[in-house]
Amino acid sequence: MTNRFIAYAGAALLLQGLAACSDAKKAGNETTAPTATPSQPAENAAEIADRKLVVAFGDSLYAGYGVLPQQSFPARLEQALAARGVAASVRNAGVSGDTTAAGLRRLAFTLDGLDRKPDLVMVNLGGNDMLRGIDPAETRANLTAICAELQRRGIPILLTGMIAAPNMGRDYAEAFNAIYGDLAKRYDAALYPFFLDGVVTDRALMLPDRVHPNPKGINAIVEKVTPLVAEALEP
């Protein structure tokens, strides 16, 4: 996976990008971890009760940094699932700037704030750890704790992974990049190895910061991830 990422030359800009999210958090995200909120208004209680509940738990890439709420990954994923005939509510539990440690701290609060147990929790954390040069062992420990808690609660997991930027060095990349695949095997989680696969290198799919996908980029990601989510939601 390390060699594969060398092709993502533009991904080195992650060192200026996702890190900036920590300084550009929205006011509601700075001090209080939000409960997961619906990506779209509910039609009525009966319809919601019949839907699968998916929680997108992550950082700015889930939160929808730089785009309108209805253009965010969770909102577009919900629409894409509906187009496939999968009735699901996708809750946006993304917080810009979150590290794996911050995510772990708010996990129980987020889950306990839901009206019922999710049918699937998607996890996208670790990019900000990499940007800050946090020891991959710490990132692994935090993500392990998150997966263990979800498993303890009987909640299926889908990991959307990140890959270390090339200028983090080979040793760092090898330790960091192995985390998501290892955890997917350990916790029987579905895995999409690199959230920005095929998008980060295309300027037409990225915001001017060259780090976060624009609406077109989000749509491209959703197109790839939706089949995996639909499969994970099958009985």
Distance of CA 87 to the CA centre of its chain: 20
Provide the pLDDT for residue 47.
67
Q: Would the pLDDT of 5 be above 80?
A: no
| Active site residue ranges | 60, 209, 212
Output the pLDDT for position 115. Answer: 96
Residue 212 has pLDDT above 60, yes or no: yes
Q: Is the pLDDT of residue 174 over 60?
A: yes
Q: What is the pLDDT of residue 232?
A: 98
Sign of CA dihedral 164, 168, 174, 175: negative
Per-residue pLDDT of 77-131, as tens digits, reads 999 999 999 999 999 999 999 999 999 999 999 999 999 999 999 999 999 999 9
Residues 159, 184: Cα–Cα separation, whole Å = 7
How far is residue 166's CA from residue 173's CA, in Å, rounded to a whole number? 7
C-alpha 52/C-alpha 49 separation (Å) is 8
Q: Domain tally for the chain?
A: 1
pTM to 2 decimal places = 0.84
pLDDT at 193: 98
Q: What is the model's pLDDT at position 162?
A: 97
Q: In whole angstroms, give the CA distance from residue 214 to residue 208.
A: 9
pLDDT at residue 235, as a whole number: 81
CATH number at residue 128: 3.40.50.1110
Percent of the chain with pLDDT over 90: 77
Would the pLDDT of 1 be above 50?
no
More confident residue, 78 or 38: 78
Residue 57 tokens, joined: 């738990």
- pLDDT at site 112: 98
Using 50, 70 and 90 to split pLDDT, how confident is the model at 20?
A: very low
Whole-number Cα distances in Å, 99 to 57, 90, 226: 12, 22, 25
CA separation for the pair 130, 86 (Å, rounded): 34
Distance between CA atoms of residues 74 and 80, nearest Å: 10
What does each C-alpha distance from 16 to 63, 64, 211 come to in angstroms?
18, 18, 8
Task: Provide the domain limits for residue 180.
Answer: 2-232
Residues 149-167: tens digit of each pLDDT: 999 999 999 999 999 999 9
